Structure 1
């Protein structure tokens, strides 16, 4: 990836948070991109993070280790429906499905215009995707491995809400 402009202040705030929490991270100083993994509860067990720092915002992506099979039309349809159904009531962030390769990720975008986010904001932007994959992981695995219908899979995940 080519060098790009980003806020060093934002990157430093995120870096400080990650170091405080003792996470093993990599940071590309040329692009302003953090990468790390996180263990979570539930079916998926591990997610991969990419945090892209911009000039006045940052975007936190958590990527599922399991994706949909791009060559399986039924599975891709169910995963697209899962994305719509799961996103419907979400307040912070959203699931995304890459229709080219079946990748499933959760995105939180933080607008930092005129300020550097505090520890709580950074914590929320990183912990929210993990919580969503913990909640909806069994829907993703149900669709991929058990040919479950998205409507039923999401409903099971939302029973306790």
Structure 2
């Protein structure tokens, strides 16, 4: 979902499932830990209804350029959001269904990343 503001465009990648109330604290812990390491964008969760999304911003400077540059920047927003869900989505689902907690999953993701490096 794209939302145009006065000086930026927000790009939201909304997760198709709602986080069950009993797992919202654990998911919140996980996304807080994940957000600390992210360079672009961040995860957000609505504690009221369990909506989970990934948000990126494109500033006015980046979208008020030539059409081809603006389009490339929009594609980059979509790609980064999809990559973030691919990287963290399975871990979030594990927490949502009670298979793990936020810290354990984040530690596991970090170990996998270090093994690849």
TM category (shorter chain) comes to 0.7 to 0.9
Rg larger for: 1
Query: Which residue pairs with 2:105 in the alignment?
Result: 153
Bigger strand fraction: 1
1:67 deviates by 2.5
Structure 1 residue aligned with 2:85: 133
Distance in 1 (CA, whole Å) between partners of 2:83 and 2:26 is 22
Is contact 2:62–2:73 with CA below 8 Å preserved after alignment? no
In structure 2, C-alpha distance between the alignment counterparts of 1:132 and 1:156, rounded to whole Å: 16
- For the residues of structure 2 that align with 1:81 and 1:144, how far apart are their CA atoms? 12
- The structure showing larger relative contact order (alpha-carbon pairs under 8 Å, at least 6 residues apart) is 2
Q: Which blocks of at least 5 consecutive residues in structure 1 are unaligned?
A: 1-49
Corresponding position: 1:81 with 2:29: yes
Give TM-score, length-normalised by structure 2.
Answer: 0.83
Where does structure 2 lack aligned partners over 5 or more consecutive residues?
none
The residue aligned with 1:64 is 15
Quote the RMSD (CA, aligned, Å). Answer: 1.8
What is the Cα deviation at residue 111 of structure 1? 1.0
Paired position in structure 2 for 1:91? 39
